[in-house]
Amino acid sequence: MKSAPWWREATIYQIYPRSFFDSNGDGEGDLAGITSHLDYVKNLGVDAIWLSPFYTSPNKDGGYDVANPRDVDPRFGNLDDVQELIAQAHNRGLRVIADIVPNHFSDQHEWFQDALSAGRGSKERERFHFYDANPDGTPPNNWISLFGGPSWTQVEDGQFYLHLFDSSQPDLNWENPEVHADFEKTLRFWIDLGVDGFRIDVAHGLVKEDVLKDHPDPQGLSNALRLDVAMDSDKRNALLLTVPYFDRQGVHEIYRKWRKLFDSYGDRQIMAVAEAWVHPPINATRYVRADELHQVFNFDLLTAEFDSKTLFDVIERSISLNATVDALPTWALSNHDSPRVVSRIGGQEARALALFVFGLPGSTYVFAGQELGLPDGQVQDWQRQDPTFFRTHGQIKGRDGARVPLPWSGKTAPFGFSAGEPWLPISQSWENLTVENELADPKSSLHMYRKALELREKFLVGAGGITWLESTHHGSRRDALLAYSRGDMTVVMNLSDLPQEFEAVGTLVMDSGGTVEAHNGKKLIPPRSSAWFLA
């Protein structure tokens, strides 16, 4: 019998290199720092690491403004350090996923510098989206950057270039065959160096349509595309259906070509996961059709409230939609672009939700620090570095809070992360959240994660689908419990503020907090907690 691909139900640990561990005392994490702590990662029980960008970059947007996609930024080390990291990860049975950024380059990339000097009508400018101003001197259209402000910047000769993000990130023109060829070269470069897969940044954004056409509600659309903007869901969905530069059909032709490239490596089982926030949700499944990519991120949990109806709907929809293309969902509670789950829904709730999600079929993604129960870091305005903060003149605080470095050991900040001053401040309030402290505390979040991932691997990976139990058939906000069975495991979550009775089958093997007691022949599940029972 052919075994399932390694990625199908993997646990993947996202590392933001600048914030993981600083090996040389300059205040910024680096590749050698990651390599030195791979045993910690392995002992957590994950299958792979995903590295956010470490490429040559002026770092205007946390490394997602890439100046050379086939080299390492000196702040992180060099190519030898990447090779050593990959080798040491593979020695420990860990796969390595690299971030790739195909929607845009940095304005410091040689291509863009050539485009500036070559001038109007040049083949160099055809690699990007350069257009003349309107007759009144205004930009070619009214689109707004997702980071705030206009999505067009004017150069000295009067033309404008498109950037859906910061002005330092000019969008590439994927109608140009040179762009295709260059990215295929980049993919092969990293695969040949040993990486096992790719996370594709803004995977839904490569193809643009109606570039010279105004949008009827550019500000609303910009807000609809942001994870951190509160908006009525119906309005958000209606706006998402009108996006002229995301989720165009042309992106799928690109990924069909990439899939052939990945498959050409045979038993290496190279995989790719798409960052594609699209609407309606069925559109996400197009990215994981049999001849395209392997996974697509499910963003619903990054914004989901802690209530039974929302979570039931998200989980049920994700499983059923992916089944239409013979794929499994992905589950993530935090990442580098969103508030940490503890800050969003609370500490108890974050532990309960993590344990509940770890039992589900599919791959789960853990953002470094999530296992420690870290909240967003406390960052003052004068310390912020996210371009969103500057482009919105401080109206949107940005993502720095989720990117504060990890606390490792000791009693005073920066808790062993660096011998120097960290690039973002680590609060003294994290004293009890260090790796050292949590390793010594059997009731810590870290111990819960390690035990859950061990049991997940032993009893749940490959166990098939789920069967909903209790009142979850209704998915009502009044339902205190959500519960499902999968294989020999029953997973239950109490979302209420009061203990709830549950008729459990089997032995309690795992819980997220509190004490699960016997009561009237049933189990009493503590408030805002989850538990696993093994038959």
Tokens representing 309?
């109806």
Instruction: State the helix-helix crossing angle for 347-358 and 445-455, rounded to 10 degrees.
Output: 10
Tokens representing 289?
């059709």
Tokens representing 369?
């620090």
Which amino acid is residue 434, in one-letter code? T
Residue 413: which of 433, 430, 390, 432 has the closest Cα? Answer: 430
What is the Cα–Cα distance from 239 to 215, expressed in whole angstroms?
A: 10
* Structural element, H or E, at residue 367: strand 363-367
Tokens representing 16?
């933001």
CA distances to 260, 284, 362 from 322, rounded to whole Å, are 21, 9, 10
Rg, the chain, Cα only:
23
What is the Cα–Cα distance from 96 to 254, expressed in whole angstroms?
A: 23
- Which of 275, 292, 349, 438 does the annotation list as catalytic? 275
- Which of 30, 201, 337, 400 does the annotation list as catalytic? 201
Helices (H), 429-478: 435-439, 445-455
What is the Cα–Cα distance from 484 to 360, expressed in whole angstroms?
A: 9
> Is 182 a known active-site residue?
no
Which amino acid is residue 273, in one-letter code? V
Residue 28: which of 17, 14, 40, 41 has the closest Cα? Answer: 17
> Is 253 a known active-site residue?
no
What is the Cα–Cα distance from 357 to 456, expressed in whole angstroms?
A: 10
Are 324 and 317 in contact by the 8 Å Cβ rule? The answer is no
Reported as half-sphere exposure (CB side, CA atoms, 13 A), residue 493 has a value of 25
What is the Cα–Cα distance from 422 to 419, expressed in whole angstroms?
A: 9
What is the Cα–Cα distance from 342 to 350, expressed in whole angstroms?
A: 5
Tokens representing 111?
């291509």
Q: Which residues are catalytic?
A: 201, 275
